[in-house]
Amino acid sequence: MSDIKKVVLAYSGGLDTSVILQWLQDTYQCEVVTFTADVGQGGELESARIKAEKFGIKQIYIDDLREEFVRDFVFPMFRANAIYEGEYLLGTSIARPLIAKRQIEIARETGADAVSHGATGKGNDQVRFELGYYALEPGIKVIAPWREWDLTSREKLVAYAETHGISVDMKHKSGGSPYSMDANLLHISYEGKILEDPAHEPDEDMWLWTVSPEAAPDKPEYLDLEFIQGDVVSLNGKPLSPAQVLTELNRLGGKHGIGRLDLVENRYVGMKSRGCYETPGGTILLKAHRAIESITLDREVAHLKDDLMPRYASMIYTGYWWSPERLVLQKLIDDTQHVVNGWVRLKLYKGNVIVVGRDSKTNSLFDANISTFEDDGGAYQQSDAAGFIRLNALRLRIAARLRASSAKRGK
């Protein structure tokens, strides 16, 4: 008899987590609480409730976390301009700490002694979920079925489902859906099937959020974003909530073929993995945020942020959102954003996000009187540059003389 009495399952209502729900009941003889997080993935979430009820589940949570997701996770990450391995905007990674947080809250509310997820033993998500669980509730028990059961193939999963009367879509019976996909308000990802050959170009009909750049409108579209302390607060003069901002940027970006990415990345567990991503709103947001920072941040502060960004991005990718080092770094990043206020004008055109204007009435460090090519009235003494250059060249001159002296002695 298992010592686990009640477990909170991160439940999507799909084939995998439906099998897990039945498997938990069979294997651990425990009560299961289902938790479905709405982070903007779309689809009819109430179907998860209906399926859970068919399993006899009495405690069913379906939580709308969209605003919290963008406000407390996506926006703080974009204040850092975070990109993993130079390209990936961390769409899947940033949703996991929120789901883990709410799962632990539900475990406390319901008196559950364990939590469970549907991540496989090959991926990053198992790490992200479980580091989150343990950081927030160190004594929690974790059940990861993919690391325990013998259902090691799609065929075995379908067979188990049919044996237990679990509804199986025809696409699963015929070999599974074309791709393994994950979606939220920030992005949608695609893995598996033909993408497992890095040399194979993705099929055009794979992409769900964006048109191809070739099919995008022939006329560019302009938009204005207003920032307050590093976060977008309005679009084209209309105040919007964080989730509303990202939703509208996704629509505009998708319309203009913006935000597609085909990437071979290094997973935390050690393997390389090929994935494709659509992040239309995030691509626009990153470009705009860097533009407003360009006129409001001190040079060395901006360069320090750029130096720290890869480490910050790696913390998110590898699941250390709740770690002390990420929390400390976030305080530094957020402190830099007090001056990041103003607006940015962008042009969207056939897969491109082009900055065409930016200004800050209160915090701009751009001084046209100094940088002008015209007469500056003595605001900048060009002759000062000679001493500046000679001092900075001093070590180079010393080294060059030493090399020349050594060469002469060697003759």
**CB–CB of 183/41 below 8 Å?**
yes
d(CA 178, CA 173): 12
Distances (CA, A) of 353 to 86, 212, 339: 17, 14, 24
Q: Is 16 a catalytic residue?
A: yes
The angle subtended at Cα 13 by Cα 168 and Cα 91, nearest 5°, is 120
- 250 within 8 A of 209, measured Cβ to Cβ: yes
Catalytic residue among 63, 113, 180, 267: 180
Q: Tell me, yes or no, if 3 is annotated catalytic.
A: no
Instruction: Extract the tokens encoding 14.
Output: 């799909």
Structure letter (DSSP) for residue 214: G
Task: Give the Cα-Cα-Cα angle 376, 379, 381 (nearest 5 degrees).
Answer: 100
Q: Find where tokens 């007090």 sit.
A: 338
How far apart CA 189 and CA 92 sit, in angstroms, is 8
Give the H or E element holding residue 60. Answer: strand 60-64
Length of the chain: 411
Give just the sign of the alpha carbon dihedral 37, 41, 45, 49.
Answer: negative
Nearest to 281 by CA among 310, 239, 251: 251
CA distance 330 to 328: 5
With a CB cutoff of 8 Å and minimum separation 6, the contacts of 3 are none
Query: Using CA atoms, how far apart are residues 254 and 153, in angstroms rounded to an integer?
Result: 34
Residue owning tokens 């405690």: 59
Contact (Cβ atoms closer than 8 angstroms) between residue 252 and residue 386: no
Q: Which of 18, 66, 79, 125 is catalytic?
A: 125
- Do 113 and 4 form a contact (C-beta atoms < 8 A)? yes
Are 282 and 92 in contact, with CB atoms under 8 Å apart? no
125: annotated active-site residue: yes
Which candidate in 12, 16, 116, 189 is catalytic? Answer: 16
Q: Do 33 and 110 meet the contact criterion of CB atoms below 8 Å apart?
A: yes
Residue 205's DSSP bridge partners are none
CB 254 within 8 A of CB 217: no
Is residue 96 flagged as an active site residue?
A: yes
In the set 49, 66, 96, 326, the catalytic residue is 96
Catalytic residues: 16, 96, 125, 180
